[in-house]
Amino acid sequence: MVIEQNPHPLDPLSVEEFHAVASIVRKARENENTKYIFSSVVLKEPPKKQVLAYLQDINSSVLNPPDREALVILIDRPSGVVNEIIVSLTQGSITKWEKLQGVQPTQHPEEMLEAEQIMIKDEKVVKECHELGITDMSAVYVDPWAVGYYYANPKEPKQDKRRIMQGLMYYRTSEDDNQYAHPLDFTVIFDVNAQEVIEIVRSKPRNSKYERATIPMTNHHFLPEHLGQGKLRTDIKPIEITQPEGVSFTVKNNHILEWQKWHMHIGFNYREGVIISNVTYQDGDEKRPLFYRMSLSEMVVPYANPYEPYNHKMAFDVGEYGLGNMTNSLELGCDCVGNIYYMDGVISNLKGEPSVINNAICIHEEDVGLLFKHTDYRTGKAHSVRSRRLVVSNIITAANYDYGLYYYFYQDGSFQYEIKATGELNTHVLAEDEDPTPYGSIVAPQVVGQHHQHLFMMRIDPMIDGPNNSVMQVDVIPASYPVGHADNPVGNAFMPTNQIYNTTDEAQVRSNAETSRFWQIVNESKLHPYTKKPVGYKLSSLNTPPMLPKPGSIVTERAQFATKTIWVTPYEDGQLYPGGFYCSQSEPGIGLPEWTKEVKSIRDTDVVLWLTFGLTHLPRVEDFPVMPVETCGFHMKPSGFFLGNPGIDIPPSKKKISKKSRTLKATNAEKDGCHCA
């Protein structure tokens, strides 16, 4: 069901608002001769206090909504000057304009496509390809990446202030061939604003008799049209997912989502992609707040190869490219299955005009097995309730990699975030006698899958029963009493130890599997009537690898946020991105390290929790030519929040068994009153 109502202050900019913003900015620059591009246009979210005050008064007869504002980032060409502009849509004018130098906004997809075409036509690139035996440059493809780091003067290790991409080079034997089966042995360093190639960096074979690696020309296809119908499985029977009475959720104004007892706002922007805000849960007559805002705020993919040109590879996909910019248009039956409600996403093109991503966000329900069950072993009577979850998802493509990003909401008040990493490995070429170990794995002859990590950071702005929260670390340890002690006579005792973080320096910690460490976000002013302890939500993850590049390395210094599993900071408007707003070609120390340099109180106040989770990926042959899904994520569960299992009110329903599968035993069970829901 879809219901229209008044706009929410966190609604993304509409298509009409994109047009209005671009028009205001262009008019302000109409007398200039400067060439420029729109790097991004996005809603400038109102201060949190204003949003909460507005939502509190939403049913009032007199509403004073916060001003509607847009943040616009322009890049002047060829100077590279960055223009940070705030446009008030309420006033129809520019309210702030700041010019910055030496910073790099996200790489726009159109910039990358533009760069690829220029690189392919460059004389130096053509010469390199000719030396490899390539005469048809239409078969050459470039994956433009942010450069990671680039020193104009190798003797002076400072980031070049030009806007630079590195072009990773590949060959295709046909238009839709798998290019990662044919990597070339050089990287192109490209000045984006000047639109020119700076230099070519060639990979040198190591411990090899060859001066240069040849192109591996064997095709490794995965598309069915290349494999041929005769090689596809024929023993798969259909699975159909139906909801004959429709879905159980309601969408209001295209962004307010209600399901079961959950209520939330769904947003979208070029950088974070999907944003979940104003999350509440209906507990009896009380609508209890849980989270103000949640989003995937940054990630880093450090690669292990220490040699040129591969040591420039360190992808910050959120800050350098933007999850929204890379979001797919989803297809029913392929990316999402069932009764689907889609939301579009809107980003800007280089001219500032809206570019609509149709079906950017998928919303649907899934059956996920048991929620709970118990069988009375004396009587044989069983009661089972099946678990259903609400899924809010989008899928992005970051050049070779694809990531499915899933928010799951469950009927027992719990929440899960999951990332499904798939797509293709970013490969490089080997000489015929070259061994890639210890920094990579051979996935096909002369083709290397480079060892790397995927480290994601979730920004969680909690409101557990109110705006002031604390974060508590819980470690489970053996009792300190020796075996035979009066309080541990047979030695089996173990117990949790709790530490509530008081300051920001205390709240920079790593996970600890040995103590089954988890965290609780608690409201110390709200005590549970049974436990007499603060109500809270438990946060846990089984996917918390340490960042493996050494302290002092370029990638570690740029991605200091990923060196800890948990950070907690006091809430500040505008502190959204742990690697800094201008993340591309960044210098060390911006973002979270900067915000926590001064020790601040974080107890019983408005806080933000930052969680690092992810994967360490040593590629397998089976990850090629396309990678089966690898998953990681985290869970949040009510812990001393409700008065019991909030899912016990899910009504049971009698088993429904098809005639084909009906058996005497099943029929008897049905007669005995076995329930499932």
pLDDT at 156: 77
pLDDT at 512: 98
**Run of H or E residues at 657:** none
pLDDT at 160: 87
Is pLDDT of 650 > 70? yes
pLDDT at 664: 38
Is pLDDT of 3 > 90? no
The confidence band for 62, taking pLDDT boundaries of 50, 70 and 90, is low
- Cα–Cα distance measured from residue 13 to residue 557, given in angstroms and rounded to the nearest whole number: 34
pLDDT at 429: 98
pLDDT in tens, 16-32: 999 999 999 999 999 99
pLDDT at 158: 79
Look up residue 584 and give its two tokens.
């591309």
The confidence band for 355, taking pLDDT boundaries of 50, 70 and 90, is very high
Mean pLDDT over 568-586 rounds to 97
From residue 586, alpha-carbon distances to 151, 163, 456 in Å are 13, 11, 18
Grouping H, G, I as helix, E, B as strand and the rest as coil, residue 35 is strand
CB 106, CB 40: distance < 8 Å: yes
Residue 200, judged by CB atoms within 10 A of its CB (0-12, 13-18, 19+), counts as middle
pLDDT at 654: 61
pLDDT in tens, 288-306: 999 999 999 999 999 999 9
Mean pLDDT over 207-225 rounds to 96
Considering 149, 341, 401, 417, which one is annotated as catalytic? 401
- Average pLDDT along the chain: 93
pLDDT at 342: 96
First to last CA, the chain: 23
pLDDT in tens, 226-261: 999 989 999 999 988 899 999 999 999 889 999 999
Taking CB atoms within 8 Å and a gap of at least 24, the contacts of 244-248 are 246/1, 246/339, 247/1, 247/339, 247/341, 247/364, 247/365, 248/365, 248/388
Taking CB atoms within 8 Å and a gap of at least 24, the contacts of 486-490 are none
Is pLDDT of 488 > 50? yes
pLDDT at 154: 75
Is pLDDT of 176 > 90? yes
296, HSE (Cβ side, Cα atoms, 13 Å): 35
The confidence band for 313, taking pLDDT boundaries of 50, 70 and 90, is very high
pLDDT at 657: 42
pLDDT at 6: 62
Q: How many residues does the chain have?
A: 677
- Cα–Cα distance measured from residue 608 to residue 610, given in angstroms and rounded to the nearest whole number: 7
pLDDT in tens, 394-449: 999 999 999 999 999 999 999 999 999 999 999 999 999 999 999 999 999 999 99
Is pLDDT of 674 > 50? no
pLDDT at 653: 66
Lowest-confidence region among 85-99, 450-464, 607-621, 645-659: 645-659
pLDDT at 335: 87
Q: What percent of the chain has pLDDT over 90?
A: 89
pLDDT at 676: 43
Output b/e per residue, 477-497; b: 16+ Cβ within 10 A. eeeeeeeeeeebeeeeeeeee
- Cα–Cα distance measured from residue 423 to residue 427, given in angstroms and rounded to the nearest whole number: 12
pLDDT at 7: 74
The confidence band for 60, taking pLDDT boundaries of 50, 70 and 90, is low
Is pLDDT of 677 > 60? no
pTM beyond cutoff 0.75: yes
Q: What percent of the chain has pLDDT over 70?
A: 95
Is pLDDT of 656 > 90? no
pLDDT at 61: 53
CB 600, CB 504: distance < 8 Å: yes
Helices 123-131, 109-121: inter-axial angle, 10-degree rounding: 60
Lowest-confidence region among 169-173, 347-351, 574-578, 671-675: 671-675
Does residue 401 carry a catalytic annotation?
Answer: yes
pLDDT at 159: 84
Is pLDDT of 655 > 90? no
Parallel, antiparallel or unpaired: strands 183-191 and 2-3: unpaired
pLDDT in tens, 112-121: 999 999 999 9
Is pLDDT of 47 > 70? yes
Lowest-confidence region among 259-273, 393-407, 611-625, 653-667: 653-667
Look up residue 279 and give its two tokens.
């999350």
Q: Of 86, 646, 618, which is closest to residue 411 (Cα–Cα)?
A: 646
pLDDT at 670: 43
Considering 143, 185, 191, 317, which one is annotated as catalytic? 317
